[in-house]
Amino acid sequence: EYKARWEGVKVIYVPARNTSKRCSICGYKTLESTQRRLWCPHCGTILDRDENAARNIAAGGLRFIPNGPPDEAVKGNPTTTVILGVDGGKLSQQLST
């Protein structure tokens, strides 16, 4: 949260409860799974539980944004996994000013 404030980005809290049990592709509510991978019997998608939950949380947060997705963290192809990193050069510049 403090990094978002630092960059002027609004933080929206989305409850994580049951986000890994709903298919992030078609919305079908899946059965509980003790395995890492989830299979959706409705659309056939196979996803890691954590990736599925992250997609559902991101989609839940986007509902609260009136003008579409904010900033670059959520831009891109929704079916591609993206790993975000810290821009060390930008961090150094901000600390030195």
Q: What's the pLDDT tens digit per position in 22-63?
A: 898 898 887 667 678 888 888 888 888 899 998 988 888 777
| Both structure tokens of 24 | 């992030």
| Both structure tokens of 73 | 């963290």
| Both structure tokens of 59 | 């989609």
C-alpha span between 81 and 67 (Å, rounded): 24
pTM score: 0.56
Q: What share of the chain is helix, strand, coil (3-state, %, to 5)?
A: 35, 10, 60
- Tell me: pLDDT of 97 over 50: no
